[in-house]
Amino acid sequence: MAVVEVPWRGILHPRLVELKGLDSVGSSWPPFGRPPLTTQSLLTSARFTREYLPVRLSRRIRALRNLPYIIVSNPNISAIYNNYIDSLSAILDFPPESLTSLTEESKFTELLTGVVKTHSNTIPILAKGFLECRGYTTPKEATKFLDHHLRARIGTRLMAEQHIGLHLASVPQPPTVNVPGKSYIGTVDTELRPAEIIESCASFVGDICELRYGARPKLTIDGNPDITFPYIPVHLEYIITELLKNAFRATIEANLSMAPTEGEVVAGFLSGAEAGMSPGEGEPMLLLMDPIGVAERSQLLEVVP
């Protein structure tokens, strides 16, 4: 395995970022505003990413180093370990003080794009490695490690992709490059319409159900389909797809004799006030209801943050 000096100092304090206030001064993410950004703001974003991304990569390296040696020496897990070492080393070659021009910022963004691509299959490869090492660890320990790694990886990838998105929307790009829309701030769509994502995901999950069961439950959207809120589309797509898989399967298995168009899943939007909170308090809620039943209002209040 490769040897590199890992910057452990400050490793226990990664920067917390929130979606609210991305385009306003005082937000948890640097207040760059909406793209296109000024040169100075884009450079500030690059320096911010350069400062905090190594901390997150270092934490993943430390987690891998803490595994038993016989597990880390597995070819698949060792490959992921070395990917993290290589990515960290490459990013550390860009000291924050070197990011003083758009030329250097473009080089840094190109590096980030390569890092994101390198780690795109991290979880499947790690899972395969743990499967091959199942004689040296328990399923509970392997699952705990993979779950934690997945959660940490989401934040790490988001940080890199956020700057990449800001760069694409702020620096002129060739016609062949897919540039984020005007409602985007990096990877965040500030005017995301969940109804559109639900309908798209329902079409995909419905196709799967029809192939497997020969039946496709009907999806009904109950509530205001034009409601919007800031979120990351690809994250919401993943969440909704997994929830719809469960809801559609429950709907079909509740009545395996139904016709291909029978059975219904309802996607409802619930405001904070409707959930029992004070007017204006809380965020919109999404409820998916299938024949198995839904939670009581008192139970919903327990899961509202």
Query: What are the tens digits of pLDDT across the range 175-208?
Result: 888 888 888 888 889 899 999 999 999 998 888 8
pLDDT tier, 272 (very low <50, low <70, confident <90, very high otherwise): very low
Mean pLDDT within 1-25: 51
Quick check: helix, strand or coil at residue 54? helix
- Tokens linked to 172: 């002129």
Tell me how crowded residue 76 is: count the other CB atoms within 10 A of its CB. 17
Identify the structural domains of the chain with CATH numbers, from first to last: 39-184 (1.20.140.20), 193-303 (3.30.565.10)
Amino acid at 94: F
Mean pLDDT within 140-169: 90
The yes-or-no verdict on residue 5 having pLDDT over 70 is no
Taking alpha carbons only, the member of 4, 105, 103 closest to residue 46 is 105
Mean pLDDT within 85-94: 94
Mean pLDDT within 224-231: 85
The residue ranking higher by pLDDT, 5 or 243, is 243
Cα–Cα distance measured from residue 39 to residue 99, given in angstroms and rounded to the nearest whole number:
11
The yes-or-no verdict on residue 300 having pLDDT over 80 is no
The yes-or-no verdict on residue 66 having pLDDT over 90 is yes
44 Cβ neighbours under 8 A, 6+ residues apart:
30, 32
Tell me how crowded residue 70 is: count the other CB atoms within 10 A of its CB. 11
The yes-or-no verdict on residue 96 having pLDDT over 60 is yes
The yes-or-no verdict on residue 129 having pLDDT over 60 is yes
The yes-or-no verdict on residue 12 having pLDDT over 70 is no
Cα–Cα distance measured from residue 74 to residue 214, given in angstroms and rounded to the nearest whole number:
42
- Tokens linked to 232: 């990351």
Sign of the dihedral through C-alpha 219, 225, 231, 233: positive
Per-residue pLDDT at 17? 57
Q: Determine which of 7-21, 161-175, 182-196 has the lowest per-residue pLDDT on average.
A: 7-21
Q: Confirm whether pTM is higher than 0.95.
A: no
Sign of the dihedral through C-alpha 194, 198, 204, 205: positive
Q: Which position has the token pair 């070395």?
A: 82
